[in-house]
């Protein structure tokens, strides 16, 4: 079964969990749930989490990036793109296409930009991933 990773900021933990549960319920495998990390008190803990996140992105067939996304999410997006891993970028509005705030990397092949409701994002991912061969 296909594997996924979700990148986002701490502001979006509930949405990350909702998307993860929705994809898991459809038979996908979440490679790492960073939302379970709390009470981080050392650089060593951050390093351990960073290694887990790196490994999770590299093991994924696709990643989902939920905006607003922090700097770590952008690193994860870069790792995915650099390794030919499909990325779905999601924002409620069209900030992904705003020339003042967009990134050149949001517009590369291998990136699917999604706006609207979170349910629409999930349906886009499901339709796209279920039609692709493993």
Q: Note the pLDDT tens digit of each residue in 23-77.
A: 999 999 999 999 999 889 999 999 999 999 999 999 999 999 999 998 999 999 9
Domains of the chain are: 3-131 (3.40.50.450)
Q: 110: left (phi > 0), else alpha (psi -120 to 50), else beta?
A: left
Report how far residue 127's alpha carbon sits from residue 45's, in angstroms, rounded to the nearest whole number: 37
**Full-model pTM:** 0.93
Task: Report the chain's mean pLDDT, rounded to a whole number.
Answer: 94
Write down the pLDDT at residue 57.
Answer: 98
**7 vs 34, 81, 99, 108, 133, CA distance in Å?**
9, 13, 22, 18, 24
């Amino acid at each position: 079964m296909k594997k996924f990773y979700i990148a986002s900021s701490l502001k979006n933990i509930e949405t990350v969990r909702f998307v993860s549960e929705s994809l898991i319920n459809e038979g996908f495998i979440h490679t790492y749930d960073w939302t379970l990390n709390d009470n981080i008190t050392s650089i060593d803990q951050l390093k351990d989490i960073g290694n887990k996140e790196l490994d999770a992105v590299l093991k994924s067939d696709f990643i989902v990036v939920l905006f607003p996304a922090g700097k770590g999410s952008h690193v994860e997006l870069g790792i995915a793109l650099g390794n030919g891993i499909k990325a779905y970028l999601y924002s409620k509005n069209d900030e992904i296409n705003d020339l003042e705030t967009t990134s050149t990397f949001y517009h590369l092949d291998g990136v699917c930009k999604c706006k609207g409701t979170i349910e629409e994002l999930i349906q886009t991912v499901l339709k796209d991933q279920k039609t692709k061969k493993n």
